[in-house]
Amino acid sequence: MTPQRTPKLDRGQVVDAALNLLDEAGLDGLTLRAIAARLDVKAPALYWHFKDKQALLDEMATEMMRRMTGRAAQDGPAEDWRETYLRTMRTLRAELLRHRDGAKVYSGSRFTDTGYAAGLDASLRLLTEAGFTPAAAARAWQTAYSYTIGYVIEEQAMGPNPFDGAEGYDVDARAERLAAHPLAAESGRVMFLDFDEGFEQGLAAVLAGVEATLLG
């Protein structure tokens, strides 16, 4: 079936509808058919703009990146590489948390434009000016980036869900199941409670690690 163009529909409208549906139904409930119903069009109309669901996810991730870049720009430039390193990852986490399953959408997606490149280039330049080689700067950045996305995937899976009011992982029940293994039992209170503190502690460890092993 040849996709039919719908003059009133553009890519931005599709992405906005997809992000709204994501918040309501999660990634499992995000289907082209459901998005089309929300936009009051037939599903084939979406294929004029996106060849498949992955293409739509790529554009959704790109839109999240654009919004994150815009918010980061409001903070102004940072001269110290450590400040930039920490602040960028905090901003990334905040953006991923704005959407239900936001980290899953973002992970593995390919940006559809190069709007991220200028900011990335400036951040990597700060690292190289501080003494990192270009390769070490890239590795240091990737390490924090991967940590942040992975952390939020776990946080959104195990923590409270602000989109539907669901409570987070029952650490007391977990502790009871693991009573014969006291250290493992108590670890749940660290891993599954206070995700803000956990993120900050982990990010500080990443920063210390890349500075100790990759700088100079």
Residue 127 phi/psi, 5-degree rounding, is: -65, -45
Q: What pLDDT is attached to residue 7?
A: 52
Please, what are the domains in the chain? 79-214 (1.10.357.10)
Q: What tens digit of pLDDT does each residue of 52-73 get?
A: 999 999 999 999 999 998 887 7
CB contact at 8 A, 98 and 147:
no
CB contact at 8 A, 35 and 18:
yes
Between 70-84, 167-181, 185-199, the lowest mean confidence (pLDDT) is in 70-84
Q: What pLDDT is attached to residue 1?
A: 44
Task: Find the angle CA(98)-CA(102)-CA(82) to the nearest 5 degrees.
Answer: 75
| Top-confidence range, 1-10, 33-42, 128-137 | 128-137
Q: Which residues does residue 166 pair with via DSSP β-bridges, in sequence order?
A: 161
User: Across the chain, what does the average pLDDT equal?
Assistant: 92
Report residue 156's pLDDT band, with 50, 70 and 90 as the boundaries: very high
Task: Find the angle CA(29)-CA(33)-CA(34) to the nearest 5 degrees.
Answer: 45
Taking the model in full, what pTM does it have? 0.90
